[in-house]
Amino acid sequence: MTRRRRRHQRRGSPPAPPPPPSLENDDLLHEILLRIPPQPSSLPRASAVCRRWRRVAVDPKFTARFRAHHGKPPLLGFSQRRDDGIVFAPVLDAPDRVPPERLDLPRCDSEAHLLGCRHGRVLVFDVARAEVLVCNPITGEQRRVAVPPEFKTGHVNGAVLCADRSQGHMHGGCRSSPFKVVLVFMRSHDHRPLACVYSSEINSWGHLIQTEAPHPVSDSGSQSTLVGNVLYWLLNHAEDDGILQFDLDRHSLNVIEAPPRMSFPCNCQIIQAEDGTLGLAILSHRYHNFQVWQRKVNCHGVGTWVLRKTTEMHDILGLPPPIEVARRGRVALIRGYAEDANEIFLYLDGTVYMVQLKSMQSRKLWETHHATLCNSFNSFYMPGDCSSLVLTL
């Protein structure tokens, strides 16, 4: 009787629920890995689980989806020009901290000038060879391009950026995408601005572009800032500073006036305002406050500067007390800007801080005696695509 009852109970019991989805399903695994954070350690750690996970993590189609899903690439660190070459300084903590030697550009002589970083590429001007060098520190790819004859003498500045405008393309993973180089130059005899654009798609420079300035100006040596599809550089003049503007769509070059408080470029930084327009961050000479200005253009095309925010330095979380700073005579300099993160790099007497402009909170990065410009380097760091780069100049 007991066996019959058990058989009857088994026959009459409801069916067991279906087993949970298995990770043996490739589509499901793709969706799971797609949603892990875009930090450098995420995919390498996932690829170490097993061969199957590694096969997915290094698949070019998956990594393309991964970059598109996350949008903006993480800030890995910044590049600086020092006596021993162009060095990479990481800003992330372990395990996401990229070893500096992986992205260093060593063997640079004194005439190799670092012009900037953008969209995963680094731009270097080789004065001795009259060439620009565009390199991708992640993959080791590099290309040399001779500059136009007009740019072989005098101070040259410039910018590099991805030229891929295909739908769905996300900058920062631009491994083999076409790129543009924009060089700006002040003519030696009258210090008038001059620009020229190189396209990797046609491997050629375009026509020279010139503009008039209200008075002779010189390049301040600052890095470029991309706002929308317009590049900006700070300019110097004995009485009145300005900003050089290059429109990438119209290929037009202009000089616009700066706010009245701007008088020392190393304490000023061109930024992107909160509504996506041109802005300027100014650190006061006496280390009293930090100002954010925004340029407004009316329906008649007339632009004016508007003061949007003033923050006392002691109100920025994470910075040293201003009383101590004043007593010890510390140096305060703006040394760079991270466009995607909207953060300023601030050098305070041997220490580099990163200040978030919206929250006005800071984070101490490290101590250093090098107060050189910090060129932010943003890129996705994928397993299997890093190559040690040796730069010979």
pLDDT confidence of residue 295: 95
* Tens digit of each residue's pLDDT (9 = 90 or more) over 215-265: 555 566 789 999 999 999 998 764 557 899 999 999 999 999 888 766 554
pLDDT at 391 over 50: no
User: For residue 56, what are its two tokens?
Assistant: 């997915």
In Å, how far from its chain's centre is CA 321?
29
Cβ atoms within 10 Å, residue 71: 11
Average model confidence (pLDDT) across the chain: 82
- Quote the CA–CA distance of 182 and 205 in Å, as a whole number: 9
User: Using alpha carbons only, what angle is made at residue 370 by residues 365 and 374, rounded to the nearest 5 degrees?
Assistant: 60
Contacts of 51 (CB under 8 A, 6+ apart): none
Q: What is the mean pLDDT of residues 281-297?
A: 83
* Tens digit of each residue's pLDDT (9 = 90 or more) over 130-155: 999 999 988 888 999 999 998 987 78
pLDDT confidence of residue 337: 95
pLDDT confidence of residue 177: 83
- Quote the CA–CA distance of 126 and 134 in Å, as a whole number: 11
In Å, how far from its chain's centre is CA 106?
20
Band of residue 388 on the pLDDT scale cut at 50, 70, 90: very low
User: For residue 250, what are its two tokens?
Assistant: 């119209």
* Tens digit of each residue's pLDDT (9 = 90 or more) over 322-331: 544 444 556 7
**Region of poorest pLDDT, from 36-40, 193-197, 279-283, 326-330:** 326-330
Whose structure tokens read 């061109």? 270
Q: What is the mean pLDDT of residues 274-284?
A: 90
Whole-number CA gyration radius for the chain: 26
* Tens digit of each residue's pLDDT (9 = 90 or more) over 151-191: 987 788 999 999 887 655 666 666 678 999 999 988 766 77
What are the extents of the domains in the chain? Answer: 25-70, 71-378
Q: What residue type is assigned to position 194 of the chain?
A: L
pLDDT confidence of residue 103: 86
- Quote the CA–CA distance of 126 and 108 in Å, as a whole number: 9
Superfamily for domain range 71-378 = Kelch-type beta propeller (2.120.10.80)
**3-state DSSP assignment of residue 242:** strand
